[in-house]
Amino acid sequence: MLSSQHFVQPPPPAASTAMDRQEQRPRHSAASLSIAQPPGGMIVIAGKTYPTPPMIPSNYTVSYWSDTQIGMSGLKNLGNTCYMNSVIQCLSATVPFARFFIDGRWKAAVNLHNPLGSNGAVANAFAHLVHDLWQQESTYLSPYPFRKSICTYAPQFSGSDQHDAQEFLSFLLDGLHEDLNRILRKPALPSPTPEREKELETLAQQISSAQEWQLYRLRDDSLVVDYFQGQFRNRLQCLTCKQTSTTFNSFMYLSLPIPTGRGVTKVTLKQCLDAFVKPETMEKSDAWLVSPNNPPSIKAGSNARPNRKCPNCKTLRKAEKQLSLSRLPPVLLIHLKRFSFKGPFTDKLETMVDFPLKDLDLTNYMPPLLPPNMDVQGLTGQRAYGDDDPRRQVPPFKYELYGVVNHFGSLTSGHYTAFIASKGGWIYCDDSRLSQANPQDVVGRPAYILFYRRVKT
């Protein structure tokens, strides 16, 4: 167990009773939500004019953070809830993100008009649990109130079944995003015109990426977007006529394939990243399906796939698909794809993935910095963010590890634990038990989800 010397000074006290905590929930009326931009404001993106959506104002700073002492307590296992406990420990160690909730700033950021949110219930439950973890009033806590609130909106996590930690992490961050989405009324964005689609094939990737990110943030803009969301480019090329089609997609985490092969027992994280960006030939049911005047559609069924439309061939063709990174977030979540599903059966890859504790450099996976004369509007982040803002899309893109979710056993009968970086050392979190860990133990075969923070160089 950890000694008392490990514990840090607790943050300001929160309400101590359930009734007090309920009263701390946000009580905004529609009129009390001030608008950051005046109604009727307009914004020009890629030559088109869009109405500026009404927003909840934000005045906090997105920041880098250095290795610091983390306020920690263990978390009681409520019956196969280790998947939840390990994720919570890692999010609580995301220092500026946790402070936003500990300091109570989340209350003024809750969007009570978002039908996809929980009216602040998920944010409220998360805030109180993280506060109590940092308060450290006992060796371990029961996350029962938090879990009860989560299960109200995600009943799949109730009961005593084991669940995937990555699935829970995705739900929780999505839920916090919708609770804290600054966009009070999401504008309807028209589908890309043929002219815009053509423009995406010719513009510099850095410019088109920035424009698509601006469009994305017209509907989705929150603390979660600020810290956790990045963007990748998906380019499809017909192998017959060489026509390309480019789209940009946001991501909350990178799901990296683990290279396999006869006799392969160990790979590097770089090999996983290389496999992620490696061109992939699409054929048969995955091919670029062309149907004139027929927009992309998805057929019902568990294996439903979109029909892809090539403007030239007008027939089924082989295509090459390639993903590339176009925007990296301050906090990079990496999900190692250890599980594969074959009907009712689940296989797990036990391959050792060697990943760095420090100096993860992703600069070579990003497009190069544009000359200033090619970015006259400052879209790419060279001028959009200050030097001390980790959202600034300027190289180098270097990261340090601060959290790991581990998985032992199978998906249905396994166990989750976590490693947390704290004040130059590492803490091992096994539900209610916390213990000091050796750095060499952090990089191990059970590693499943990696939490990296961007560092300023």
Looking at the annotation, which residues are catalytic? 82, 415
94-119 in b/e form (b: 16+ CB < 10 A) is bbbbbbbbbeeebbbbbbbbbeebbb
Q: Which amino acid is at 185?
A: R
**Residue 45, CB half-sphere, CA atoms under 13 Å: how many?**
20
SS3 277: helix
**Helix extents (H) in 154-261:** 165-180, 194-202, 205-217, 223-228
Residues 6+ apart with CB under 8 A from 146: 88, 125, 126, 128, 129
* Alpha-carbon separation of residue 164 from 61, 65, 255, 311, 414 (angstroms): 32, 29, 14, 40, 10
Quote the Cα angle for 349-355-360, to 5°: 140
d(CA 38, CA 51): 10
Q: Tokens in use for 264?
A: 């392969």
Q: Tokens in use for 88?
A: 């919570």
Query: For the purposes of burial, counting CB atoms within 10 Å of the CB of 331, is it exposed (0-12), middle (13-18) or buried (19 or more)?
Result: buried
Q: Which amino acid is at 392?
A: R
Torsions phi, psi for 440 (to 5 deg): -70, -15
The closest alpha carbon to 349, from 269, 415, 268, 410, belongs to 410
